[in-house]
Structure 1
Amino acid sequence: MDKQNLLDGVKTIHFIGIGGSGMCPLAEILFNEGYKITGSDMAESDTLERIRSYGIPVTMGHYPENVEGADLIVYTAAVKLDNPELVAAKHLGIPAVERCIMLGEVTRKYNRSIAVSGTHGKTTTTSMLTQLLTMADYDPTAIIGGKLPFLGSNSRIGKSDIIVCEACEYVDTFLHLNPAISIILNIDEDHLDYFGTLDRIIESFHKFAQQTTSLLIVNGDDANTLKAIKDIECRAITFGFGEKNDYRAVITNEGVMDEFDIIKGNIKLTTVKLKVPGKHNVMNALAAAVACFELGVSARDIANGLGEFTGAHRRFEILGTEGGITVADDFAHHPTELRATLTAAMEMGYKNVWAVFQPHTYSRTAMLLDDFADALSIPDHTVLSEILAVRETNTYNIYSKDLADKIKGCVWFETFEEITDFVVNSVKPGDLIITLGGGNVYMCANMIYDRLKQKYAE
């Protein structure tokens, strides 16, 4: 099907898995544009409550009759081809497209579409950019991979011609986009189960850069990123710490709040005080700031917006402090992300940092085992859960014990209950506990925090 004509003649769109974090914002945008939307899902969630608040009908469970009357079906990547609604759509001759294709279609409706790509930092940077543009009255539409506390949601419907979205490289998803502005934060070895080699990842980013129509904003300190944009005709500007970059950050104060100047050429544009820790977040903030400068946002609005940013959901998210013990949760699931987050945690002045990590996929754990061991040796104490399989079977014959054996003093447990018992009985006032991983390890953070509240209430 020609993606340019995807919505021609379409009045009713049915979403399979409408409660998904990537699906819900698309349904909202299309509903706002006047399309009739229906949806189905398998589990209740906050996003479903939001969808229903518009009067959009949602069916719990997937049934063939759910697709009747639809002109187009949108489904998530998690939906299997034998899903009864997909099978029914095929039987009835109703066209069905994956979410990433619909995202491309929706973003093409906006003259100033901004796609945030990179192996690490997409959600934080997209969140920062959305908050900056909203606070500066640029009224953007936004699709974010995590909940932004500032919005209380992972999406925003604006009335301007600006849309901000994440561009994920996994299975070349971002090649369905044709952004006006693309940000490339970094390129690292990840999703090797799909790409196989780093060169293929760089090649995929090269294609993505070629599809950008107006401006590339790229990490000038990252050799892989510079390789990816080689021979690209689109205008490119660089950001980073290095002096050769078009825009650079000069850190003037490190600590719980990082303070840095944004310099362009020899001119200081503004000073930013960040509430989210770590050099990686200085880079994320700089990338968001550059996009805003290029859109005409004032230096004052940029400094104010970044100064008010308190983080995105599951990005060094502080759950609270009980008995002098702080509990935080973070999405880091790749060695580079772990290294950045744990280095920042170690510099925050806690007596001991306890990292509770849930390895995410057998392939990633096996292929980057030594890198994981190196990153997880940073904190004072490391605790592992079993590996979360996600979409894989363990053909790699890899177990958490293999990783634990490479980290001094590391322990591992099969269940979150066992981890909670061990951690709560071991921590002391002045310590930080941070759960890390791309799966459901945040549940363990909640269990630990609840147990600490109970312990100190007694």
Structure 2
Amino acid sequence: MMQTKKYFFIGIKGSGMSALAMVVHDLGYQVAGSDIDQYTFTQKNLEAAGIPIYSFDPANIRSGWTYIAGNAFQDDHPEIKAAHELGAEVIRYHDFLGQLMGQYTSIGVAGTHGKTSTTGLLAHVLSGVDKTAYLIGDGTGKGEADAKFFVFEADEYRRHFLAYHPDYVIMTNVDFDHPDYYHDLADVFSAFEQEARQTAKGIFAWGDDPSLRKLQATAPIYYYGLQDDDDFQAINLKESPAGSEFDVRYHDQIIGHFVIHLYGQHSILNSLAVIGVSYLEGLAMDEVAAELLTFAGVKRRFAEKHFGQVTVIDDYAHHPSEIRATIDSARQKYPERQLVVVFQPHTYSRTQALMPGFAASLDLADQVYLTEIFGSAREQQGQVSSADLGALIKHGGEVLHLDQMQTLLQYSDAVVVFMGAGDIQKYETVYEDLLKN
């Protein structure tokens, strides 16, 4: 594995690709890559590490390099095609990651939602206690040749995570998503169950998820949650605007008291999964508690800025369950404030398939605005629009364009949450500029 010294990442600005490039760079290999010319938040780390980023061009392809191909690009992409024609080794992102993790105690984080937040939390805690390499879906990656642990985000899209055979896997939930690939919830579950069967030491699954309760695997399955029949149970919960604290019970034994400066019930559940893995790997619970206390979150997950009386939150939420979790967090931290949501639907297929769920989740806010749907390169424009979703929303539902962001200035003491997985940040930037002026 990794005999070559030079790796070129085709699509290096993708969140997983940029993180993997950082891991490989840290391990001492020569790294470069290519992507679109548009600025993305992931390139900051790459540039700081001195990793060259080129515009897509078949002329980038030269002998002596191994090419890592991003999953967003098919074999007819000009660079991938040129690499094949040259006879160079071309490895898909998920296959390369699967090879890389073999030398460590590997811990994957899978789930329709919550993967990035949980992976970031797990990487933070384990790094504070022992040497840990990690790959997080917010574009953050770190390589350590002599690390004990390798923590990584395991993406279920197109069953890519089946390239991984980890020691442990955390499964945060199983929901129907990616309707451009999966047929239904049963199809999604079959992928998760296959990944569970490929896991060597243990599976940590959220106990309240009815699909995860049906899991069959050869490795032990540990359920975590708030119920008495969960293996790792959070009890004596206290939630406040400062965060949450709780005790953890494992098989009738209290194994520790934990405080997190994170919000929403999902943050308690994510912490429980991390505590469970750490406990079974024999880590000291007081050290784990100290690391949990200092975790500040990952990029684009409940990221806050303050402009006078207005709080602006940026969040990647793009599925009804994620929207609910983000609104839950905002309500816990700012119980007295008006909550305004600006949501960018992500892909026509997802918007169409999950529309009633989107409307129900968004209506948990006090006021809702939408942007036009952010379409995917993977799909044609659909027969659905943001206006169709807006018609189902009781608390607003107006579709805003970039030149209409001044509409939001009427909310002078509000929490304004921008949510989406596309280019929602360009709307947020325009609004923040208006607030500054």
Pair in the same fold by TM > 0.5:
yes
CA shift for structure 1 position 385:
0.5
Look up the equivalent residue of 2:234 and give its one-letter code.
Answer: A
Partner in structure 1 of residue 386 of structure 2: 400
Alignment of 1:261 with 2:244, yes or no, is no
SS at match of 1:145: coil
**Which of 359, 362, 368 is residue 354 of structure 2 equivalent to?**
368
**Which of 425, 434, 437 is residue 451 of structure 1 equivalent to?**
434
CA shift for structure 1 position 106:
0.9
CA distance in 2, matches of 1:47, 1:280: 25
Alignment of 1:21 with 2:35, yes or no, is no
**Which of 355, 358, 376 is residue 341 of structure 2 equivalent to?**
355
SS at match of 1:315: coil
Partner in structure 1 of residue 122 of structure 2: 129
Look up the equivalent residue of 2:254 and give its one-letter code.
Answer: K
Alignment of 1:295 with 2:281, yes or no, is yes
In the superposition, relative to structure 1, how do residues 52 and 448 fare at CA in structure 2: closer, same or farther (>3 Å)? closer
In the superposition, relative to structure 1, how do residues 28 and 372 fare at CA in structure 2: closer, same or farther (>3 Å)? closer
CA distance in 1, matches of 2:14, 2:328: 32
In the superposition, relative to structure 1, how do residues 210 and 393 fare at CA in structure 2: closer, same or farther (>3 Å)? closer
**Which of 299, 312, 323 is residue 308 of structure 2 equivalent to?**
323
In the superposition, relative to structure 1, how do residues 452 and 31 fare at CA in structure 2: closer, same or farther (>3 Å)? closer
**Which of 414, 418, 427 is residue 435 of structure 1 equivalent to?**
418
Query: What do residues 237-292 of structure 1 show as CA deviations (whole Å, max 9, x unaligned)?
Result: 11111111111112521222122211112222222222111001111111111111
Alignment of 1:378 with 2:390, yes or no, is no
**Which of 168, 181, 190 is residue 203 of structure 1 equivalent to?**
190
CA distance in 2, matches of 1:395, 1:358: 15
SS at match of 1:223: coil
Look up the equivalent residue of 1:244 and give its one-letter code.
Answer: D
CA distance in 2, matches of 1:422, 1:61: 37
CA shift for structure 1 position 156:
1.9
CA shift for structure 1 position 312:
1.1
CA distance in 1, matches of 2:41, 2:327: 30
CA distance in 2, matches of 1:59, 1:332: 28
- Pairwise CA RMSD of aligned residues? 2.0
In the superposition, relative to structure 1, how do residues 225 and 86 fare at CA in structure 2: closer, same or farther (>3 Å)? same
1:131/1:305 contact within 8 Å kept: yes
CA shift for structure 1 position 428:
2.2
1:346/1:379 contact within 8 Å kept: no
SS at match of 2:188: helix
Alignment of 1:250 with 2:235, yes or no, is yes
Alignment of 1:277 with 2:233, yes or no, is no
- Structure 2: which 5+ residue stretches go unaligned? none
1:384/1:410 contact within 8 Å kept: no
**Which of 112, 130, 138 is residue 119 of structure 1 equivalent to?**
112
Alignment of 1:391 with 2:377, yes or no, is yes
CA shift for structure 1 position 47:
4.9
CA distance in 1, matches of 2:72, 2:156: 16
CA shift for structure 1 position 221:
1.9
In the superposition, relative to structure 1, how do residues 352 and 392 fare at CA in structure 2: closer, same or farther (>3 Å)? same
Alignment of 1:338 with 2:323, yes or no, is yes
Partner in structure 1 of residue 174 of structure 2: 187
In the superposition, relative to structure 1, how do residues 251 and 70 fare at CA in structure 2: closer, same or farther (>3 Å)? farther
In the superposition, relative to structure 1, how do residues 443 and 288 fare at CA in structure 2: closer, same or farther (>3 Å)? farther
CA distance in 2, matches of 1:181, 1:281: 20
In the superposition, relative to structure 1, how do residues 54 and 308 fare at CA in structure 2: closer, same or farther (>3 Å)? closer
1:59/1:66 contact within 8 Å kept: no
**Which of 221, 234, 248 is residue 208 of structure 2 equivalent to?**
221
**Which of 138, 141, 149 is residue 133 of structure 2 equivalent to?**
141
Look up the equivalent residue of 2:324 and give its one-letter code.
Answer: R
1:99-110 pair list within 5 angstroms: 99-110=93-104
TM-score computed with the length of structure 1 as normaliser: 0.89
**Which of 232, 235, 238 is residue 223 of structure 2 equivalent to?**
238
- Structure 1: which 5+ residue stretches go unaligned? 1-5, 148-153
Query: What do residues 328-377 of structure 1 show as CA deviations (whole Å, max 9, x unaligned)?
Result: 11111111111122133234323310011001111111111111111111
CA distance in 2, matches of 1:395, 1:77: 21
Look up the equivalent residue of 2:312 and give its one-letter code.
Answer: V
Partner in structure 1 of residue 57 of structure 2: 63
Partner in structure 1 of residue 156 of structure 2: 169
CA shift for structure 1 position 220:
1.9
In the superposition, relative to structure 1, how do residues 14 and 338 fare at CA in structure 2: closer, same or farther (>3 Å)? same
How many percent of aligned residue pairs carry the same amino acid?
A: 31
In the superposition, relative to structure 1, how do residues 362 and 19 fare at CA in structure 2: closer, same or farther (>3 Å)? closer
In the superposition, relative to structure 1, how do residues 214 and 263 fare at CA in structure 2: closer, same or farther (>3 Å)? same
In the superposition, relative to structure 1, how do residues 252 and 145 fare at CA in structure 2: closer, same or farther (>3 Å)? same
In the superposition, relative to structure 1, how do residues 251 and 362 fare at CA in structure 2: closer, same or farther (>3 Å)? farther
CA distance in 1, matches of 2:365, 2:26: 47
2:207/2:223 contact within 8 Å kept: yes
TM-score computed with the length of structure 2 as normaliser: 0.93
SS at match of 2:103: coil
CA distance in 2, matches of 1:144, 1:125: 9
In the superposition, relative to structure 1, how do residues 48 and 243 fare at CA in structure 2: closer, same or farther (>3 Å)? same
1:330/1:435 contact within 8 Å kept: yes
CA shift for structure 1 position 39:
2.4
SS at match of 1:116: strand
Query: What do residues 390-429 of structure 1 show as CA deviations (whole Å, max 9, x unaligned)?
Result: 23545641111111111114133352331x21111x2022
